[in-house]
Chains A and B, each alone.
Chain A
Amino acid sequence: EVQLVESGGGLVQPGGSLRLSCVGSEFSEFTFSRYWMSWVRQTPGKGLEWVAIIKHDGSEINYVGSVKGRFTISRDNAKNSLYLQMNSLTVEDTAVYYCARMNLPAAPPRYGMDVWGQGTTVTVSS
């Protein structure tokens, strides 16, 4: 079974930083390095919000406007791992953060997100 497991969430004060990690399963059917990957967050008030995306080789990256300049997405294909460095956090960043695999290997990120992690909770509060 293909799995993604997030970690790194927690309680942080406004202005602080956190680094989220997401590890893909080691099974052969999930060739992590062939897939675009995304981070998506969810709050009760705002529903689902896509945060960032990275191409399978790391050569293309994009962010939602509200996190540009504060968050950095990266990956290490040798470790089947995706990361989200979050700086200058505000209370509006409080959410459950999911990593998600973009559907279809080596395809443009047009076809949805077919594998999701269980989510990690980030709480920004003083």
Chain B
Amino acid sequence: DIQMTQSPSSLAASVGDRVTITCRASQGISSYLNWYQQKPGKAPRLLIYATTSLQSGVPSRFSGGGSGTYFTLTISSLQSEDFATYFCQQSYSTTLTFGGGTKVEI
């Protein structure tokens, strides 16, 4: 199975900060990388699919980049509602796998 490694596992930031989360795949996955946001007690929410495509309704301060084995999720100006846990997920393999998550805290 393809292993997905996120870093950092947690970070502390302030409103207005630019935040970048990274995700590395154990092998090349082309551009088949998706990002989710999850808040406590809620289901995950799809933010970005296929590395760079913003899901409908997601604010433009979220952006994704990368290819191959290295990917990033960037929040250009952190808002209070963005404090949450973020997960990457690869869909290159028929066995889908998630990263371990990055918790963004105040």
Interface residues, chain A, CB within 8 Å of chain B? 38, 47-50, 53, 62, 64-65, 98, 100, 103, 109-114, 116-119
A36 to chain B, nearest CB (A): 11
A25 to chain B, nearest CB (A): 15
Q: Which of B1-55 contact A (CB under 8 A)?
A: 1, 32, 34, 36, 43-46, 48-50, 53, 55
A96 to chain B, nearest CB (A): 9
Q: Give CA–CA (A45, B96) in the complex, Å.
A: 19
Please name all residues of chain A whose beta carbon is closer than 8 Å to the beta carbon of B94 when the two chains form the complex: 53, 62
Q: Give CA–CA (A114, B53) in the complex, Å.
A: 13
Please name all residues of chain A whose beta carbon is closer than 8 Å to the beta carbon of B49 when the two chains form the complex: 103, 111-112, 114
| Closest Cβ neighbor of B32 among chain A residues | A110
Known contacts A38-B96, A65-B95, A98-B43: A48-B87 contact under CB 8 Å: yes
Q: Give CA–CA (A53, B100) in the complex, Å.
A: 20
Label chain B's interface by main secondary structure.
Answer: loop
Interface residues, chain B, CB within 8 Å of chain A? 1, 32, 34, 36, 43-46, 48-50, 53, 55, 87, 89, 91-92, 94-101
Instruction: Identify which of B34, B44, B87, B101 contacts A111 (C-beta below 8 A).
Output: B34
Please name all residues of chain B whose beta carbon is closer than 8 Å to the beta carbon of A50 when the two chains form the complex: 89, 95-98
Q: Which 7 A-B pairs have the closest CB atoms?
A: A112-B34, A116-B43, A112-B49, A50-B96, A48-B98, A111-B49, A110-B91
A114 touches B46 (CB 8 A): yes
Instruction: Identify which of B53, B95, B99 contacts A62 (C-beta below 8 A).
Output: B95
Q: Give CA–CA (A116, B39) in the complex, Å.
A: 13
| Closest Cβ neighbor of B35 among chain A residues | A112
